[in-house]
């Protein structure tokens, strides 16, 4: 077995095939088979739609494959039952109407599956019989559990990316794919040189977009913390991330690719999968290094066994091994069936699932107050490690899976990483079991639990809740909030451990001595008799650091009300929302008395944020903390004159100009890269002079300020006839308060 750092999934070459339907006389068995085939087609279509279109499967891949195999067996026994729309006759997948449709250069085929070694051996034998025993070399690769994608290049430059879709037509996801770091925007010169006279031809390479396991874990942790539904597995996470309407969301999801196929090999002048993979790698594509060139079926078996044994060691999810004939000429000789190449097969790994007993469903309170139910079960070994707990995410998930305390449950690892409860073994359910319910009070602090209509999350909104304490404290002192320099993770941990702080108001009761004596967690590396310390003694925070922290805390008392509202950690209230609310109500007392409807009337706020603010202010413990902050000297009301003067000073705008509000009634949009100021700073300066700053161009836009690298906003402004200004013109406006004359 020849190991290589390159692999691929073959070349799609459309070859016509013919099927001769046999006529079978109707019998009871035939009628039963017809009914079952119709049922299976309906089930397969439904679950394929859930999988490909909604990225929300209801069954495992193994269960889907089992139904597909059953349908194939029925149609093999009764060929007259084969229908053109049968799932066995087409490539799986759907095309969404949310994205522009893209027609592939050549059809993207699915692949037949071998569910066990017997089926793999049967395919190997058919291949050897067709091509001659000993005349075939196979390429084995890991089967990446991701989302199929086609990348198009013209004269070596990226022009488009599309999903697999139905195999013929996919969805244009070019903007999102551009955010994936390992997708080259330009092919290397050596690869283009290899193409010779065909270097300017359009080529379409294929592969998988996937999400690394570590990124998948972080994404679901964030979902739990924010009360959102989690992704079922890395494949669904990758699919959901790639099909976002906002490319910025895709960019944050840490996607990656493995490329292994091409629509037409002719421009490359290569003759085998191995040569093709060499070219891919030289061109700059990401190619999976786990591949082997096998000369015999025995070597194929060996590769599959090694892949199954080491699947848990990989940072990406695989669900099998793809075995293909290496020679492109032999691939052409074998051809295709209606839905798959005859020269390749996917050997599918069996899912590892274990049974255990669910002893208790406990509540875990996250940093944002979200209550997350967690299954505690008898320890069981799955995919190489022992697990005893798994998140159940939310009450909707518990109801969907129909699990109860005392159930015998089936568990596995999603993506071979995250322990997951698959569901109960109903015939082992205790007779006295009852449905599990979310608690009405926080199990940590006893405060009432809040559940907003239309959301799955249940939350504790008490600022006093110990489970949320550390993250709330760190948020309070962070740069964007109260900006207390010197108070980081380590010192806050020690303050909590020493019992010095229980909420944000306690920061302002601290003394220099309280802080100076805290243990940093580090020890002296050597003795120092002058200082009276010995090697190994704990190092305290010290007087200088403590004095600096107290100075910083006192400085933070002058932060404006908008920042205080943001620093409190009220759900949905960011920095800009805090400023809007502060400008509208001017004091915390007026905000407390305001109705939910009053708050919702603020520009850009709406009922969701308003409800969150009122819920926070309805908790007695939160009001107590606010009163203690007032007594500590924090300003919980807006000094309009001082705020206006500070905003003008921060923006570098003359005070008399700010007072005159010369830009009132004008709307500006900023785009591109500015040199003298960031776009946020420029926007703040325009607002000080009375202007409104919008994020989108419309007929109501007064001026567009465009720096270098301006994009679609500049195009739209030109189409609408909106005046376009450069940065020099912007600086002139901020200095004089006068806009250019038309």
> Annotated binding site, which residues?
61-65, 110-111, 141, 164, 208, 324, 348, 442, 445, 460, 465
User: 667-671 and 692-694: which strand pairing?
Assistant: parallel
Per DSSP (E only), the strands in 603-662 are: none
Do 406 and 428 touch, CB atoms closer than 8 A? no
In 3-state terms, what secondary structure has residue 534? coil
Residue where the block lists tokens 């066995």 = 88
Residues marked as catalytic: 143
Interatomic CA distance for residues 478 and 492, integer angstroms? 12
Give the relative orientation of helices 640-651 and 679-688 as an angle to the nearest 10 degrees. 140
Please enumerate, by residue number, every residue annotated as part of a binding site for NAD(+).
61-65, 110-111, 141, 164, 208, 324, 348
Interatomic CA distance for residues 229 and 454, integer angstroms? 13
Residue where the block lists tokens 């760190």 = 474
Could you tell me the CA-to-CA distances from 48 to 41, 51, 53, 318 in Å, in that order?
10, 5, 8, 19
Could you tell me the CA-to-CA distances from 156 to 256, 274, 386 in Å, in that order?
20, 21, 49
Give the relative orientation of helices 727-736 and 679-688 as an angle to the nearest 10 degrees. 30
Give the relative orientation of helices 606-617 and 620-631 as an angle to the nearest 10 degrees. 80
Interatomic CA distance for residues 361 and 20, integer angstroms? 57
Task: State the Cα angle at 41 between 36 and 47, rounded to 5°.
Answer: 125
CB atoms within 10 A of CB 170: 26
Do 291 and 5 touch, CB atoms closer than 8 A? yes
Tokens of 683: 């926007």
Nearest to 627 by CA among 735, 719, 504, 475: 504
Residues whose CB falls within 8 Å of the CB of residue 307, separated by 6 or more in sequence, listed in order: 140, 142, 290, 318, 320, 321, 349
Tokens of 33: 């088979």
Interatomic CA distance for residues 369 and 619, integer angstroms? 14
Nearest to 426 by CA among 440, 445, 406, 443: 406
Tokens of 202: 């359009």
| DSSP assignments along 322-341, one per residue | EEEESBHHHHHHH-B-SSSB
Total number of residues shown for the chain = 742
Interatomic CA distance for residues 257 and 237, integer angstroms? 14
Do 300 and 138 touch, CB atoms closer than 8 A? yes
In 3-state terms, what secondary structure has residue 93? coil
Could you tell me the CA-to-CA distances from 611 to 134, 596, 620 in Å, in that order?
73, 6, 16
């Amino acid at each position: 077995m020849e190991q290589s750092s390159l692999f691929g999934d073959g070349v799609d070459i459309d070859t016509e095939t013919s099927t001769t339907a046999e006529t079978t006389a109707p019998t009871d068995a035939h009628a039963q088979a017809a009914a079952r085939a119709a049922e299976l087609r309906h089930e397969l279509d439904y679950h394929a739609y859930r999988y490909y279109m909604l990225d929300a499967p209801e069954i495992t891949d193994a269960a889907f494959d089992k139904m597909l195999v059953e349908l194939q067996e029925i149609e093999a026994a009764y060929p007259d039952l084969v229908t053109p729309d049968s799932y066995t006759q087409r490539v799986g997948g759907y095309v969404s109407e949310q994205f522009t449709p893209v027609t592939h250069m050549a059809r993207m085929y699915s692949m037949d599956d071998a569910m066990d070694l017997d089926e793999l051996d049967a395919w190997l034998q058919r291949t050897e019989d067709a091509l001659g025993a000993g005349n075939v070399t196979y390429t084995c690769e890991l089967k990446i559990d991701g989302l199929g994608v086609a990348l198009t290049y013209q004269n070596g430059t990226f022009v488009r990316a599309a999903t697999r879709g139905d195999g013929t037509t996919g969805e244009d996801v070019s903007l999102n794919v551009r955010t994936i770091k390992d997708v080259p925007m330009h092919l290397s010169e050596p690869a283009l040189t290899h193409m010779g006279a065909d270097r300017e031809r359009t080529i379409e390479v294929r592969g998988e977009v996937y999400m690394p396991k570590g990124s998948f874990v972080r994404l679901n942790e964030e979902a739990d913390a924010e009360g959102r539904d989690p992704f079922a597995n890395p494949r669904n996470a990758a699919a959901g991330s790639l099909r976002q309407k906002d490319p910025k969301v895709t960019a944050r999801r840490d996607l990656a690719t493995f490329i292994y196929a091409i629509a037409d090999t002719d421009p490359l002048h290569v003759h085998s999968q191995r040569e093709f993979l060499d070219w891919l790698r030289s061109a700059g594509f990401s190619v999976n290094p786990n591949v082997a060139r096998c000369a015999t079926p025995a070597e194929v078996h060996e590769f599959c066994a090694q892949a199954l044994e080491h699947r848990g060691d990989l940072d990406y999810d695989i669900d099998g091994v793809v075995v293909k004939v290496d020679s492109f000429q032999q691939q052409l000789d074998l051809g295709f069936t209606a839905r798959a190449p005859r020269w390749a097969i996917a050997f599918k790994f069996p899912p590892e699932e274990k049974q255990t007993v669910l002893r208790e469903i406990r509540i875990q309170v996250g940093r944002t107050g979200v209550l997350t139910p967690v299954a505690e079960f008898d320890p069981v070994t799955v995919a190489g490690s022992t697990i005893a707990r798994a998140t159940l995410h939310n009450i909707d998930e518990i109801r969907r899976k129909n699990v109860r305390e005392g159930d015998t449950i089936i568990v596995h690892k999603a993506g071979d990483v995250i322990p997951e409860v698959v569901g109960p073994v109903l015939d082992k359910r205790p007779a006295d079991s009852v449905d599990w319910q979310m608690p009405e009070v926080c199990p940590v602090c006893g405060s009432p639990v809040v559940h907003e209509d239309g959301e799955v999350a249940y939350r504790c909104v008490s600022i006093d809740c110990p489970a949320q304490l550390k993250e709330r404290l760190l948020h309070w002192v962070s740069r964007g909030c109260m900006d207390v320099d010197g108070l980081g993770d380590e010192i806050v941990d020690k303050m909590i451990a020493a019992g010095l702080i229980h909420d944000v108001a306690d920061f302002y009761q601290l003394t220099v001595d309280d802080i100076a004596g805290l243990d940093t967690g580090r020890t002296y590396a050597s003795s120092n008799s002058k200082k009276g310390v010995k090697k190994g003694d704990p190092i305290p925070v010290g007087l200088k650091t403590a004095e600096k922290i107290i100075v910083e805390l006192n400085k933070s008392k002058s932060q404006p009300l908008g920042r205080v509202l943001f620093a409190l950690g009220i759900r949905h209230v960011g920095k800009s929302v805090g400023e809007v609310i502060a400008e509208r109500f001017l004091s915390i007392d007026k905000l407390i008395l305001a109705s939910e409807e009053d708050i919702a009337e603020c520009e850009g706020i709406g009922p969701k944020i308003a409800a969150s603010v009122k819920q926070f202010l309805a908790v007695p413990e939160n009001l107590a903390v606010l009163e203690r902050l007032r007594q500590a000297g924090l300003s919980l009301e807006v000094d309009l004159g001082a705020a206006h003067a500070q905003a003008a000073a921060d923006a570098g705008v003359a005070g008399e100009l700010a007072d005159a509000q010369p830009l009132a009634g004008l709307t500006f949009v900023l785009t591109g890269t500015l040199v003298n100021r960031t776009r946020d700073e420029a926007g703040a300066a325009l607002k000080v002079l009375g202007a409104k700053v919008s994020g989108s161009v419309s007929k109501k836009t007064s001026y567009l300020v465009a720096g270098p690298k301006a994009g679609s906003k500049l195009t739209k402004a030109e189409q609408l006839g909106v005046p376009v200004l450069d940065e020099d013109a912007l600086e002139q406006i901020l200095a004089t308060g006068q806009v250019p004359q038309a």
